[in-house]
Chain A
Amino acid sequence: MSRTIDITLTVNGESVAATVPSRINLVDFLRNTLQLTGSHVGCEHGVCGACTLTVNGETVRGCLMLAVQADGADVQTVEGLADSGRSAALQAAFTRRNALQCGFCTPGMLASAIGYIDAGGAPDRKAIREHISGNYCRCTGYQSIVDAICDLIEEARA
């Protein structure tokens, strides 16, 4: 019975080939096999948003996608967001607004926020709140997170 599968994918711009068990989800593969521990694992059923990452330019839940389903895909994690400078301004806004406390939700928050900003989202607190409603912050630091995202969009438009 062949319960391992060969995959090749691009992770943060680098080509990766691996043999993975069919049952391994994408975020576990990234963390445990590739040692990219920036994406966090919280609820493992798609509710908390801590594992949110980007696949082929779209945000997805890393716990609700199998590694084998990422065969051929272009994956970007928070490490890639940081190294490429793509999240630099957002990270600076998070720091300025004190939008992280324990930091557990931050990688998923950054991925979700970039999804919102890239889609041309407005500096509208209600819309931002709705967009990040799929990401839990158990420190309940939502106000500052909304502030940071809002600031960045307003600055870009100014």
Chain B
Amino acid sequence: MSDIPKWKEDFPIEWDADNYVTRREFTKFLVMISGATVAGNGFFVLQRLRKQREPYSKVRIAAVADVGAGGVQLFRYPTENDPALLIRLSDGRFVAYTQRCTHLSCPVQFVAGQNRLECPCHNGAFDAATGEVLEGPPPRGLPRITLAVEDGSIFATGVQGS
């Protein structure tokens, strides 16, 4: 008696032909997705070009006298939807960072005594002097807002990656 089940005798399948068609179609699909991936990379190039065309504006955010050592002031930059923190470190220097945590965008808070910014959502922490990650889940440092001090006023002039 044959080992082959009856249904296979009745409906024989040519597996090579079957494999040929499925693999060929899958390969075509992969090439299509490959094109979509290039388009995705193109999106990042367009975003970069757009940023280069639209330089950041210079916005007055506070007077030097308004923020004492260890003090902090909330402002919005570059748009009204981007909260940011202006911090005066204990050595008198001004620094400013985007307030959104790089983990899941919770607002970070300045802890003056420890000279660091903490995210209450998942206990991430950043160095207030550099914006670099000290601990927790954030994958990268806080984007830094560049500042200029002129005539007793502090101006935001741009945003840099950490």
Question: Do A and B truly interact?
Answer: no
Chain B residues close to A by CB (< 8 Å): none
